[in-house]
Amino acid sequence: MKLIAAIIKPFKLDDVREALADIGVSGITVIEVKGFGRQKGHTELYRGAEYVVDFLPKIKVEIAVDDPLVDQVIEAITNAARTGKIGDGKIFVFDVDQVIRIRTGETGPDAL
């Protein structure tokens, strides 16, 4: 089992969610984050006080899937989230030791 974490541009969330639904992934966790990589921030001015804001708002999408689906998920996210401009984001893949469904107590791939 794998946990796929994708940092994407916020306005791409709907596209990514739809792309995942199209390949049968229905569970998803969304976290609002901020960060930067190569994308530069911007300047703000308040009455003569100028600030450089490095952090950009991003969305982190987390999906836990069984191993066979990993490549499909990565491709779906990538295609949906890409704009071609700097700041599109990154995808990380983690190993998952255990998954439990709280309501029923199911474990492993049955809980995904």
Partner 1 sequence: MKATKLKTPARTLSALLLTLAPVLAFAQEEPTLSAGDTAWMITATALVLLMTIPGLSLFYAGLVRAKNVLSVLMQCFAITGMISVIWAIYGYSLAFTDGASLNAYIGGLEKAFLSGVTVDALSGSIPESVFMTFQMTFAIITPALIVGAFAERMKFSAMLIFMALWVTLVYIPIAHWVWGGGWVGAMGALDFAGGTVVHINAGVAALMAALVLGRRKGYPTTAMPPHNLGYTVIGASLLWVGWFGFNAGSELAADGTAGMAMTVTQLATAAAALTWMFAEWINHGKASVLGIATGAVAGLVAITPASGTAGPMGALVIGFAGAFFAFIAATKVKVWLGYDDSLDVWGVHGIAGIVGAILTGVFADASLGGSGLAEGMTIAGQVWIQFLSVLATLIYGGIMSLIILLFLKVTIGVRVTEEQETEGLDLALHDERGYIL
List residues near partner 1 by CB under 8 A: 44-49, 51, 53
Task: Give the burial string for 30-59 (b: 16+ CB within 10 Å, else e).
Answer: eeeeeeeeeeeeeeeeeeeeeeeeeebebb
List the one residue out of 104, 75, 89, 74 whose CA is nearest residue 11. Answer: 89
Choose between 46 and 95: whose C-beta lies nearer to partner 1.
46
Choose between 55 and 92: whose C-beta lies nearer to partner 1.
55
HSE of 65, CA atoms in CB hemisphere, 13 A: 21
Question: Taking the complex as a whole, how short is the minimal distance between the CB of residue 37 and partner 1, in angstroms?
Answer: 21
Question: Taking the complex as a whole, how short is the minimal distance between the CB of residue 33 and partner 1, in angstroms?
Answer: 16
CA gap 19, 23 in Å, rounded: 7
Choose between 21 and 53: whose C-beta lies nearer to partner 1.
53
Question: Taking the complex as a whole, how short is the minimal distance between the CB of residue 52 and partner 1, in angstroms?
Answer: 8
Question: Taking the complex as a whole, how short is the minimal distance between the CB of residue 85 and partner 1, in angstroms?
Answer: 23
Choose between 48 and 105: whose C-beta lies nearer to partner 1.
48
Assigned token pair, 23: 């390949």
